[in-house]
A and B are shown apart, each in its own frame.
Chain A
Amino acid sequence: MEIPYTVEARPDTGLYNAKMGIWLFLASEVMLFGALFSSYVILRTGNPDWVQHPMNVSLATLNTMILITSSVTVIMSWASLRLKDFAKFRIYFLITLLLAGGFMVVKGIEYNQEFSQGLFPWSDNYMGIYFTLTGLHGLHVVGGMVVIAYLLGPGAKMWKTAPEQYVNRVESVGLYWHFVDLVWIFLFPSLYLL
């Protein structure tokens, strides 16, 4: 049985399946991160003795730049695919994957610095919420890396068999990746600068 609307848009929503699915998923993700942000506000404003540790702003700024750049490369990869330039798509997509890896390496260095200063998730409320939010965000980065790697590797066969569906998949991953970037845009000032 052929699954309908994997390529063409449904007449009622104007969306193909994957796009509708990814937007509903992103809506649930807003609630997930929203709950944690809400917890952060309560913990911080409700504690007159809040301890704010000085974090490594330089590394966090570098990571912000890395994620912003990866957002551009992922959308450029999608644009290249729409121009039917598969070679360019692969380069941009690979750069996105490398940037995502770079983000995790920088985050690892940061965590290592914090551990060496005796700062752990159980140290105090700030460190607890810091590791929860950045850890969950990091898991999202890893999840994105897995999907990007799949679409670069075995999943790329679809470009030959069903190119339009492949373009749609890349667009959906791109939407997810921009969301990961968007979350970091709010995490960065909230956790590092305020």
Chain B
Amino acid sequence: MGGHNSPEDIKKETRTYLLVFVALAAATVLTVAVSYLDLTTPQAVTLALFIATIKGGLVAAFFMHLLSEEKFIYAVLVLTIVFFIFLFVIPIGTYADATGEHFTMEGVEHGESEAH
């Protein structure tokens, strides 16, 4: 879609794009800044991916116009997200099941459910 086509609307859109750019640049600086904090690995991963998700959301929502798109595109994206989740969960779950190990942010801890 990409919004309306009157010159006023397009100029208004461009102002929004510039604001999003400022937000993305600030979030990038924040991402680097928090990497210097003394955080545990799970905290660092969570925080970094949280900021990245917000940045990605801004790009998708405003630059890719997902705030006002056609239903067909939303349907494609929902399907993609479902398969994307499968893509992550199935291999990791299969690997953990096969090795009797479960995953932690620090590495791998051996499961204790195996028969002794």
- Which listed residue, B2, B25, B44, B70, touches A194 by the CB 8 Å rule? B44
What residues of B have a CB within 8 angstroms of the CB of A185 in the complex? 52, 55-56, 59
Query: 4 nearest interchain CB pairs?
Result: A189-B48, A14-B70, A193-B35, A13-B72
Contacting pair A41 B88 (CB below 8 A): yes
Contacting pair B70 A13 (CB below 8 A): yes
| 28 chain-A/chain-B pairs, Cβ below 8 angstroms | A14-B70, A15-B73, A23-B73, A27-B77, A31-B84, A34-B87, A38-B88, A42-B95, A45-B92, A45-B105, A45-B108, A64-B28, A65-B28, A68-B24, A68-B25, A68-B28, A71-B63, A72-B63, A76-B14, A76-B17, A83-B7, A83-B10, A179-B64, A181-B59, A185-B59, A188-B52, A190-B52, A194-B48
Contacting pair B108 A48 (CB below 8 A): yes
| Distance of A180 from chain B, by nearest CB (Å) | 10
> Is A57 part of the contact surface with B, judged by Cβ < 8 Å?
yes
CA distance A72 to B19 in the complex (A): 10
Q: Give the secondary structure class of B's interface.
A: helix
> Is A87 part of the contact surface with B, judged by Cβ < 8 Å?
no
> Is A146 part of the contact surface with B, judged by Cβ < 8 Å?
no
Q: Give the secondary structure class of A's interface.
A: helix
Number of interface residues of A (CB under 8 A): 50
Contacting pair B21 A68 (CB below 8 A): yes
Complex interface bits, B34-70 against A, C-beta within 8 A gives 1, otherwise 0: 0100000100110011011001100110011000001
